[in-house]
Amino acid sequence: MLQQLNQFGLSVKGWMLALALVAGAALLVQPAPAQAHCDSINGPVVTAAQAALETGDVNLVLPYVKPEYEAELRAAFQHTLEVRELGTEAKELADHYFFETAVRLHRIGEGATYSGLKAETDHGPALAAADKALETASLTEVYTLLDQAIKNGVAQKYEAVQAARARAAEVGTVETQRERAEAELIFEKYVYNLYNTAQDQAVSAEGGGETHTHGGEK
């Protein structure tokens, strides 16, 4: 790769600028939406990509891309290793380029959209518990977290139903009956969706694939 660059008369600084342009928004790390995970700079794909670069073992990040994108990731890996030798600034740009490539290919493989790396972020208690379960081989915290969250959600919506029913019985207007009906539907749909989500085996890791639910609904 470096020989090819030399044929075009690119200096080290010129190559660094070209790499920054190729990487696109690599250095303009975007704010992370609540659902971001694999897009973030501290997500599992970038973590694996960092380990791959530090150890020189691309196999550490290859599991995160589909087989059809492996060749592209391998090529990016080799280019990055070469450019890293040019100096500190080149290393930083090259690493971001590789992180962008790894995450982009990962997202494409999941059928999900990709709009650049997101800032390091706290992904919330659910992902933290899931990550800890993978590290410790224990589901205790996951079960505790989900059990409490589900109980709280169901209880809140059920209490809303009871309050709406009491108001409808007391006031007796069409509007209060409408509020009662809406509260009941919200409660039913919440329970229904919770159950179907728990049963669903076809949801992709990134949420980009099709979600199949029982009853023919999505």
Structure tokens at 94: 């090259």
Q: What integer pLDDT is reported at residue 122 of this predicted model?
A: 67
Q: Is residue 152 pLDDT above 80, yes or no?
A: yes
The overall average pLDDT reported for the chain is 80
Running DSSP on this structure, what letter comes out for residue 64?
G
Q: What integer pLDDT is reported at residue 11 of this predicted model?
A: 45
Q: What integer pLDDT is reported at residue 199 of this predicted model?
A: 84
**164: buried, middle or exposed (CB in 10 Å: 19+, 13-18, 0-12)?**
buried
Convert the pLDDT of each residue in 36-82 to its tens digit.
567 888 888 999 999 999 999 999 999 999 999 999 999 999 999 99
Convert the pLDDT of each residue in 96-147 to its tens digit.
999 999 999 999 998 888 888 887 666 788 888 988 998 899 999 999 999 9
Cα–Cα distance, 47 to 64 (Å, whole number): 11
Are 118 and 32 in contact by the 8 Å Cβ rule? The answer is: yes
Which residues, in sequence order, are bridge partners of residue 118? 30, 40
For 1, 182, 194, the CA distances from 8, given in Å and listed in that order, are: 11, 68, 58
Q: Tell me if residue 112 falls in helix, strand or coil.
A: coil
Nearest-10 Cα torsion for 184, 187, 192, 194: 180
Q: Is residue 154 pLDDT above 50, yes or no?
A: yes
Long-range contact list for 136-141, CB < 8 A, 24+ apart?
none
- Going by C-alpha positions, the residue among 61, 36, 41, 49 that lies closest to residue 112 is 36
Convert the pLDDT of each residue in 191-217 to its tens digit.
999 999 888 754 545 454 444 333 334
Residue-level length of the chain:
218
Which residues, in sequence order, are bridge partners of residue 32? none
Nearest-10 Cα torsion for 86, 87, 93, 94: 40
Q: Is residue 10 pLDDT above 70, yes or no?
A: no
Amino acid present at 145: L
Are 17 and 92 in contact by the 8 Å Cβ rule? The answer is: no
Neighbours of 26 (CB within 10 A): 22
| pTM score, whole prediction | 0.57
- Beta strands per DSSP E along 80-168: none
Q: Is residue 190 pLDDT above 70, yes or no?
A: yes
Running DSSP on this structure, what letter comes out for residue 118?
B
